[in-house]
């Protein structure tokens, strides 16, 4: 129930309905979610982080982490990825574009380095194979057809593609393909098992569902390959032409499209050295084997782009479907890109084509309304309407081989860098205690021993929590000088706060201060501490604790606002934002 309430709150914010009074500007603020779309006239401009109300320090810190991941010995004697371009934008301003490492570095799949003069450095304008981020463009093209009345979300796909309506697929709808609830299996080796494009498309049309349509969420390339065919059938044009004429050209995305021209080859990042199929080092052609076997144009993969072009797309969505006066979708359609259609499958939140609420790559920008997608080649695209922010990370992580590891830590860190650059103002006074503990870490904030004649003391504080569900902020009490600690039950109030008495606080998406109260045993004296412990994977923005008071019947025993030095900290820091 709490998950559904959080999702509704995020959607209300996006559509302009306020769940809580909002006073003042949202610029530079994480704790003041925006309501509705950005002004339709918003056009991206360059700015320093400080000019957008941001703290530059977290951004510079994550830049250093990206650079470190390109080092020779970053992971098991090799880089996590040879190079990357990251872009961060907030409130219509591009506050960081950072390029590091190499666009081309290796000669073969074993990691033999090219001579230095043959290597190509990464640049801000490097063009990347987006891999599955392509699915977003196909989804936008489908929704344009829905707007024009050419397709309907609840109509069976077989109405438009009769050859699809076989082997149990007769009832699968357009919406089920867009939300990966069709029951189709994830993948078929089209490039290997079928000889030409026609037979490969027929294989997708003929496949039987693995599960009953509508009963499960299974991410599937076949869904988007089918939608690509649907777009071509209903428009009479090829998918690459539709994307160019109806999306990228109107938005001015000059470096975005399928099968980039050879004239741009020197700007394109290399991907993998493939031996099966025997393609050698791939550069300028789509990496995905099935998309390659379909001529480089497919609904699931094949588009190339730059960080800046993707930022334009992100801003168009934040603007409600328009950029520089060119509208690609109506506002009500864009809302469907930020609305969860898969609530029946918790953890797999999905809008129409876009993923939602995925901490593993959205990091500190995660919320029920945060939308995006990743690509196998090492790309990620995150759009957060609550802070009107965009985080784009493009890497060539499969160069020279896909076996060198996952870039999810980098994806998550990049988005979290922007989240931490946004301000959370103290609930009271000039600063609050903040912990952004990393994976597998514990931070504590501990009171001195407090003497009371009462059997119990009251503890009140404010908490701003943005963490993975399993990264928990707890209040504990000790009556034996810290040898043993007992959890203190907590009651919290505020937007998105848990109901009833709980033993810990955690979660993402609410972006609000909570008022928290607990009662701790105190006979013979008591020490209280706040402990924030993270597990081994995924972290969000972090937690703030403020306005600490411990009282007995005769009055206060500890006032953290007046005497913050009385608290002993290990992993918490006083922050003004």
Do 297 and 259 touch, CB atoms closer than 8 A? yes
Give tens-digit pLDDT for 382-394. 999 999 999 999 9
> Which of 2-16, 79-93, 529-543 is predicted with the least confidence, judged by mean pLDDT?
2-16
What is each CA distance from 533 to 109, 223, 235, 469, 542, in whole angstroms? Answer: 40, 39, 53, 11, 11
Task: Work out the average pLDDT over 135-143.
Answer: 98
Give tens-digit pLDDT for 28-43. 999 999 999 999 999 9
Fold classified for 432-575:
Jelly Rolls (2.60.120)
For the chain, what percent of residues have pLDDT higher than 90?
94
- What string of DSSP letters covers 488-502? --EEEESTTPPPSEE
Burial environment of residue 200 by CB neighbours within 10 A (0 to 12, 13 to 18, 19 or more): buried
Task: Work out the average pLDDT over 290-315.
Answer: 98
Give tens-digit pLDDT for 181-205. 999 999 999 999 999 999 999 999 9
Residue 357 backbone zone (phi > 0: left; psi -120 to 50: alpha; other: beta): left
Give tens-digit pLDDT for 416-425. 999 999 999 9
* Domain boundaries, given as residue ranges, for the chain: 2-126+306-421, 432-575
Residue 124 backbone zone (phi > 0: left; psi -120 to 50: alpha; other: beta): alpha
Q: What CA–CA distance (Å, rounded) separates 382 from 454?
A: 52
Q: Decide if pLDDT at 21 tops 90.
A: no
CA dihedral for 493, 497, 501, 505, sign (positive or negative): negative
Q: Packing angle between helix 56-69 and helix 408-421, nearest 10 degrees?
A: 170
Q: Decide if pLDDT at 12 tops 70.
A: no
Q: What CA–CA distance (Å, rounded) separates 385 from 378?
A: 23
The confidence score (pLDDT) of residue 5 equals: 39
The confidence score (pLDDT) of residue 453 equals: 87
Q: Decide if pLDDT at 292 tops 70.
A: yes
CA geometry: angle 361, 120, 311, nearest 5 deg: 40
Domains 2-126+306-421 and 432-575 share a fold: no
The confidence score (pLDDT) of residue 23 equals: 39
The confidence score (pLDDT) of residue 294 equals: 98
Preceding omega of 277 cis (within 30 degrees of 0): yes
Residue 65: in which H helix or E strand, if any? helix 56-69
CA-based diameter of the chain, in Å?
85
Q: What CA–CA distance (Å, rounded) separates 178 from 203?
A: 20
Of the two residues 161 and 9, the one the predictor is more confident about is 161
Task: Work out the average pLDDT over 287-299.
Answer: 98
The pTM of this model reads 0.94
Task: Work out the average pLDDT over 360-378.
Answer: 98
pLDDT confidence tier of residue 14, bands split at 50, 70 and 90: low
Burial environment of residue 8 by CB neighbours within 10 A (0 to 12, 13 to 18, 19 or more): middle
> Which of 123-127, 319-323, 337-341, 537-541 is predicted with the least confidence, judged by mean pLDDT?
537-541
Task: Work out the average pLDDT over 331-335.
Answer: 98
pLDDT confidence tier of residue 24, bands split at 50, 70 and 90: low
What is each CA distance from 546 to 346, 424, 433, 530, 567, in whole angstroms? Answer: 32, 11, 6, 11, 12
Task: Work out the average pLDDT over 523-528.
Answer: 92
List the structure tokens of 568: 């002993």
Q: Decide if pLDDT at 6 tops 70.
A: no
Task: Work out the average pLDDT over 519-537.
Answer: 94
**Smallest Cα–Cα separation from 204: which of 255, 260, 166, 160?**
166
Radius of gyration for the alpha carbons in the chain, expressed in angstroms and rounded = 25
pLDDT confidence tier of residue 359, bands split at 50, 70 and 90: very high
We find that the CATH architecture of domain 2-126+306-421 is 3-Layer(aba) Sandwich (3.40)
| Average of per-residue pLDDT values in the chain | 95
């Amino acid at each position: 129930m709490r998950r559904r309430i959080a999702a509704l709150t995020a959607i209300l914010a996006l559509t302009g309905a306020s769940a809580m009074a909002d006073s003042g500007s949202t610029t530079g603020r994480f704790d003041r979610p925006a309501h509705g779309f950005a002004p339709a006239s918003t056009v991206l401009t360059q700015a320093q982080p400080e000019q957008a109300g941001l703290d530059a320090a977290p951004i510079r810190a994550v830049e250093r982490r990206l650079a470190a991941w390109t080092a020779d010995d970053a992971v098991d004697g090799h880089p996590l990825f040879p190079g990357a371009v990251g872009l961060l934008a907030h409130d219509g301003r591009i506050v960081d574009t950072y390029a590091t490492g190499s666009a081309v570095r290796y000669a073969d799949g074993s990691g033999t380095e090219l001579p230095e003069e043959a290597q190509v450095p990464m640049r801000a304008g490097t063009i990347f194979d987006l891999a599955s981020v392509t699915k977003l463009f196909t989804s936008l093209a489908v929704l344009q057809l829905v707007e024009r009345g050419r397709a309907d979300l609840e109509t069976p796909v077989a109405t438009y593609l009769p050859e699809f309506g076989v082997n149990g697929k007769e009832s699968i709808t357009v919406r089920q393909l867009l939300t990966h609830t069709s029951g189709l299996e994830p993948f078929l080796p089209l490039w290997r098992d079928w000889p030409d494009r026609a037979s490969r498309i027929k294989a997708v049309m003929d496949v039987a569902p693995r599960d009953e349509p509508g009963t499960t969420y299974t991410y599937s390339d076949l869904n988007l390959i089918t939608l690509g065919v649907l777009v071509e059938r209903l428009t009479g044009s090829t998918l690459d032409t539709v994307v160019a004429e109806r999306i990228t050209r109107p938005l001015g995305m000059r470096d975005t499209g399928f099968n980039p021209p050879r004239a741009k080859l020197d700007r394109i990042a290399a991907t993998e050295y493939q031996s099966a199929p025997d393609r050698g080092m791939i550069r300028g052609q789509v990496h995905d084997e099935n998309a390659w076997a379909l001529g480089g144009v497919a609904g699931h993969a094949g588009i190339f782009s730059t960080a800046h072009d993707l930022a334009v797309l992100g801003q168009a969505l934040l603007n409600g479907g328009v950029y520089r006066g060119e509208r690609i979708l109506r506002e009500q359609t864009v809302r469907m890109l930020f609305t969860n259609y898969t609530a029946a499958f918790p953890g797999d939140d999905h809008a129409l084509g876009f993923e939602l609420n995925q901490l593993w790559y959205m990091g500190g920008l995660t919320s029920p309304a945060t939308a995006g997608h990743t690509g196998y080649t090492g790309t990620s695209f995150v759009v957060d309407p609550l802070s009107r922010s965009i985080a784009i990370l493009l890497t060539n992580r499969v160069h020279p081989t896909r076996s060198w590891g996952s870039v999810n830590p980098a994806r998550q860190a990049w988005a979290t860098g922007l989240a931490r650059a946004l301000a959370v103002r103290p609930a009271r006074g000039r600063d609050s205690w903040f912990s952004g503990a990393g994976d597998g870490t514990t931070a504590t904030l501990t009171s001195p021993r407090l003497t009371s004649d009462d059997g119990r003391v009251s503890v009140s504080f404010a908490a701003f929590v943005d963490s993975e569900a399993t990264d928990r902020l707890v209040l504990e009490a000790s009556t034996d000088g810290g040898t043993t600690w007992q959890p203190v039950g907590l009651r919290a109030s505020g937007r998105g706060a848990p109901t009833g008495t709980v033993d810990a606080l955690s979660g993402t998406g609410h972006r609000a201060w909570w008022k928290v109260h607990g009662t701790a045993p105190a006979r013979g004296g008591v020490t209280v501490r706040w402990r924030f412990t993270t597990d081994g994977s995924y972290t969000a923005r972090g937690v703030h604790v403020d306005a600490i008071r411990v009282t007995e019947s005769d009055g206060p025993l500890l006032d953290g606002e007046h005497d913050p030095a009385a608290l002993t900290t290990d992993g918490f820091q006083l922050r003004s934002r």
